[in-house]
Chains A and B, each alone.
Chain A
Amino acid sequence: MLMVSAGDPIVVMMSHPAKILMVDDNSMVLFAMGHLLRSEGFTVLEAKDGAECLVQARAEQPDLVLLDVMLPDINGVELCRKIKTSPETSHLFVVLLSSIETSPDSQITGLEAGADGYITRPIENRELVARVQAMLRIRLAETALRKAHDDLERRVAGRTEELSRANGALKALSLRMVDVQEAERRFLARELHDEIGQTVTCLKLVLEISLRPENPAQQQSFDEALGLINDLIERVRQLSINLRPQMLDDLGLMTALDWHLKRYQKQTGIAVQFRHTPMPERLEPGLETAIFRIVQEALTNVARHARVKEVTVRVWANAGRAGVQIEEAGAGFDVASVLARRASSGVAGMKERAELLGGEFTLESTPGHGTCLTVELPISENESTSVEAGGGI
């Protein structure tokens, strides 16, 4: 039993006595050295030539191979190279034992052949044992290190997989969140418009047919009441539209966009040029929503930051992709610093929406020269897995 500490906290216990394979053609040497090593508690195997050495090395997987450089059938250095290049034995620890005459040159050749150590003879018994033990310590430390390395690699691989799984889950979650938010907005918009809006509208109608003002004073308060109701109706209508225009579901992206651009133009005084290629009647609901929202967000930015009188909106569909581009020659800004800033919600939101749908988001801007935002999204053949209910007609 051997316990080794290799300088760092890795401690390796050998579960069995170290196994040493001695290779020497001289049976006297084998006998004497074998005796010595056994008495130190090692398990000792013996081989008389290269062929025998290879067989044993393969079968026994010794912890250490002590290899005489001079063998009858093969040069020890050559044998060492063989051991080190065969996949079954390449990991074995090989120490060359010199013959009596050994020059520094032959040591170098031996080490170059892949030997892990070199012991020169003559050598005293005590020194030989000490050297062998030192070699085994190195061997153990190396094994420990390799194991630690393998563990680490496995752990990294495991973590990487975990991380990519978590990333996938996060993406699915974000996608779902966008869908849920959109569904919620659609619901609220409908509720506001259809329930509250219609009830108030009806209230107005009932008021009108049941109340007949009889004098100018009554007429005036009646008119005031009607005015208030009209304001309320308009407020509810705008609130609903801002949440989500029902038209997007009912009449499709292009009609809703066209309408939105006109409304934008009227509200902001910024002239909108709307250009598009022939478009499919309808796109998937998720895609229509994404494009509409991106145009909305980008145009809001144009009105707030660009200081321009004109903006161009382009929409196209070709080769399985739908694209949208918003371009103006306004103030411009430094894109990198805005993207780096965590606070930006508009630009980041558009980017995220595009990427969640597997699309590309390109934002180009030069301070003083204007901004161009381009998003391209894949049109999937089958319906998306989105929770959105889709249009009514």
Chain B
Amino acid sequence: MKIDGMEYEFPEGMNVLQACESIGIHIPHFCYHPALKVVGSCRMCKVEVIQNERKRIDISCNVMVQDGLEIITDSAPVRTARRMTLEFLLANHPLDCPICDDAGECELQNYYLAYGRNDSRMREVKRHRRKATEIGPSIMLDGERCVLCSRCARFVEEITRTRELGIFGMGSSEELMVNPGASLDNDYAGNVVDLCPVGALTDKDFRFKRRVWFLQSVPSICQLCSRGCNVRIDYDINPFHEHKRNINMRTHRSEATRYARIQRIKPRVNSDVNGYWICDRGRYGYRSTDAADRLLKALVRGENGLEESDVTKALKQIASGVSSAVGKGADRVAIVVSPRLTNEELFAVHRLFRERLDMPSMDHRIPVDPDWYGDDLLRTPDPFPNRTTCEWLGIIPADRGFGITELPDAIASGKVNTLISILADPRDYLDETAIRKLKRRYYILRQMPDDLREFTDVALPAAAWGEYRGTFTNFNGRLQRLEAAFEPLGDARPVWRLMTDLAPLLKKPLGLKSFDDVFAALTHKISLFADFTWRNIGDEGVMAIRNRQEVTA
């Protein structure tokens, strides 16, 4: 078929809109969405269709590609048709852009610039609708801004099957609303905000927080379950903000979240992992990075209790503690590693403690939060992003070693007297008497709850999500990349860096200087990663295995 005078071939079953997008011609549209059924309600996607020598203007989302079709995407009649459609859509639209959170990423604004007329011919009074209505715990609806594209209604109908939203009324009194008595509170509700082409549905979490044009973004991977949904971190570190935030950090830390760097999380499209969606847990689960209880300095137990110190001093303390414990037997040191670490961090931990120091008591199987549940859309039953690599590296107890389940007994009988807990709160897997009985308790943590302080001997600050680069391997064996959005706060640094700094103090240098060294060494270590480089993983990740049965360490 022909588009704008050029011959193309497309597979059967594609519609014209998709076909045009695939060759880089953008057709304005509101209601069409690749993951949802076609309804053809907005009429914005009009193009000229020439079929059997007859010319007509038709909506491109509802015309299938076929032989002999000719499409003209940009001509005077097409532009007129689009302009008239837009005029109707804008007839009752409020002038809300200055206070609308969608301004800057609003399709209506974009198309208005392309096809709008700059004067209004509207003589009648604009129809008013409900504004700023809460329709769910995280979603606000502004009825006046809605263009009735029904994307959101189709999403809850087709994807989540929860059917909270519907379009009520007829003609110009048509209105989108939640069904009576319902509330848009399913686990994927946040996605309707991304779907809505205008600012009718906005996120309460992002409400008025920041204008979108201030945001910068990096691609990342959600760290809250083993699906590893592809996300985008939208952050903002304007120098004035940074300055303000630092002032606030110093004076009243609890307010620090107000000047958080991560402003919101948005999904990235990856048809092999998460499609177009992410769950609400992933969408709103970014607060830990800028949380008020972030550990920013190393803590070392001195004469007056826990004192802030520099990281080198804390590392020295750990090194001397570990060496004296190892002197009496390497199995006296238990190392608990959270599967929240990236591959590189896990690798560095494994190389130091297992390969160099030959410590048998090492485990990653910390108990799963009982409130977590999986579902059949995206969420997996495992809330840790990187268990696969823990298994591939063999972060499990070796002969004579103690796993997490045997740890309480081993501590009670005095066989283990030193604990190194990496990104895991020891109270999750040990009771308080056991922790008290330990002689040395070393933690690497991102957040330091105040009530953990009395159980701490040394705590090192670790970089939080968004502050480090790395890779995760999802439950399916897919290797995916995270980019760092900004520098770690305070003295925090990635765990692999702490390991490479700790190793020389234990007289076992790892010989890894930079992140690239660690990544290269990792691909040597795990044979499944042998073909991968940082670059060829790409933004969408690569499969390391075909199915999970091929697993070898």
* A-B complex is real: no
